[in-house]
Chain A
Amino acid sequence: MNWNPFRKKEDESESIDPLDITLSNLEPGYVLDYDLKTWQVSAHHYYEYDGDRVDEWELSSADEVAYLECAKDDGFTYTFTRKIRVSELDADIPAHVNENEDPPDEIIHNHITYEADSSSIGRYFKNGQGTGDEFIVWDYLDESEKRTLSIEQWTDDQFEASVGEIVEDYQFTNILPGGITEKY
């Protein structure tokens, strides 16, 4: 065993500044409070859109799973989303895409009307690893431009949908490092 008195201990070199934990540097195992619930980060993935990176943290609370997305532009824009079934939407999305190459411009979900905002081709890096899976995403916004709806196409007939809202970082409190990182 090589003993080096000047070698830093691992926990010293990799220690986290407890006063400098922000929403943008979440890692799996971190715990945080949002919307009167305590959530634990169970995974950290990211998307790439034409060179721009969007981070996504998978959050778990009891039997709920949600996603926090962070896009960096001038500042950080956070979106808190939950997956929904594509069949919950008022239109037959796969059929519409097959016929028109795009989903409808207007989609209603849970009595909220969403208007098409943008579409992109991106790559998804699960757990931040691998070469990424290509997909197409159509983003929608409601009238207030605070609520979001996304439709993702992964293969010819595999579609996913999610709804969410644009959130501010101050809405997330008591961010704690560590914890148990096992998957729920």
Chain B
Amino acid sequence: MSIFQRLFSVGKSEVNATIDKFEDPIKMTEQGIRDLKKDLNAAMMSLAEVKSQAIRLRKQVEDNKKASADYERKAMLLLQKAQNGDVDITDADRLATEALSRKEEADNRVTQLGQSATQQENMANQLQSQVEKLKSTVATHENELITLRARARTAAATKKINKQLAKVDSSGTIAMLERMKERVEEDESLSEAYGEMAGASKSVDEEINAALAGSSAGTDERLAALKAKMGMNA
């Protein structure tokens, strides 16, 4: 395989792959059914034409049968009139022969038209079975399309849900939640520690005051002595 052939094949496969992406199975099926219905319509119209042709031929057969009977009746009437002396026998024979000749022509047309009508009817029967087959195929595909549409809708919904689920970073979210939990716990521990610290630690002044708390009487004595020294009355 030459390099150009290979390049062409690669290009072809790429184009096919791109086209495949654009193919919507539902739309493609609908189009297929539309095409089939168009074919079915054309077949039905052809069949209608064949049947109407057969009807027309049968009508012509009936018309010629009537004409044949009419010519025979006229021929008989001419002979009767000749017999009764109403018409010249020679003229009557000539006209009756002519009438019988026309009757024969009409009879021949009855046979020919009858054969043509039978041919058309046979053709119509054959076409009818083909039309029925095509009709059944279209109906089957149309029913399948209903199921296909439902399946496609379910598939699309499932795809959407799965896509949404796939988008969720569950491990990241759980880690974040754990982190938040730890932070709350840390805050709680910290607050507890501060609480303990607040209960346990005393300032230096507080300690001095506490130590001096027990000698409050000595202070009073020293104050009285100071006052006495100064000559002041207590």
Binding site for B on A (CB under 8 A): 15-19, 29-31, 38-40, 60-63, 174, 176-180, 184
A178 x B55 contact (CB < 8 A): no
Interface bracket on B: 20 to 34
B48 x A29 contact (CB < 8 A): yes
* Secondary structure type dominating chain B contacts: helix
Give Cα A15 to B37, complex, Å. Answer: 9
Give Cα A18 to B43, complex, Å. Answer: 10
Q: Knowing A18-B37, A179-B48 touch, does A174 contact B128 (C-beta < 8 A)?
A: yes
Give Cα A22 to B53, complex, Å. Answer: 22
Say yes or no for B99: interface residue by CB 8 A criterion.
no
Binding site for A on B (CB under 8 A): 37-38, 40-41, 44-45, 47-49, 51-56, 58-59, 61-63, 124, 128, 131, 135, 138-139, 142
| Complex interface: chain A residues within 8 A of B49 (CB) | 178-180
A176 x B56 contact (CB < 8 A): no
| Complex interface: chain A residues within 8 A of B45 (CB) | 176-179
| Complex interface: chain B residues within 8 A of A174 (CB) | 128
Q: Knowing A17-B37, A62-B62 touch, does A179 contact B51 (C-beta < 8 A)?
A: yes
5 contacts between A and B (CB under 8 A): A18-B37, A19-B142, A31-B51, A62-B58, A63-B63
Task: Output the least CB separation between A18 and chain B (Å).
Answer: 4
Give Cα A40 to B50, complex, Å. Answer: 11
Give Cα A176 to B49, complex, Å. Answer: 9
| B132 to chain A: closest residue by CB | A174
| Complex interface: chain B residues within 8 A of A39 (CB) | 55
| Complex interface: chain A residues within 8 A of B138 (CB) | 18-19
| Complex interface: chain B residues within 8 A of A177 (CB) | 41, 44-45, 48
Which of B51, B53, B58, B142 counts the most A-chain CB atoms under 10 A from its CB? B51
A19 x B48 contact (CB < 8 A): no
A19 x B54 contact (CB < 8 A): no
Give Cα A176 to B131, complex, Å. Answer: 10
Which of B52, B63, B138 counts the most A-chain CB atoms under 10 A from its CB? B52
| Complex interface: chain B residues within 8 A of A31 (CB) | 47-48, 51-52, 55
B47 x A176 contact (CB < 8 A): yes
| Complex interface: chain A residues within 8 A of B142 (CB) | 19
B55 x A38 contact (CB < 8 A): yes
Task: Output the least CB separation between A54 and chain B (Å).
Answer: 25
**Complex partner residue of A18 from B44, B53, B55, B58, CB under 8 angstroms:** B44
B55 x A62 contact (CB < 8 A): yes
B51 x A63 contact (CB < 8 A): no
Give Cα A107 to B124, complex, Å. Answer: 42
Task: Output the least CB separation between A77 and chain B (Å).
Answer: 26
Give Cα A174 to B138, complex, Å. Answer: 16
Known contacts A18-B37, A18-B138; 19 further A-B pairs (Cβ under 8 A):
A16-B41, A19-B37, A31-B51, A31-B55, A38-B124, A62-B62, A63-B58, A63-B59, A176-B44, A176-B45, A177-B41, A177-B45, A178-B48, A178-B49, A179-B49, A179-B52, A180-B56, A184-B55, A184-B59
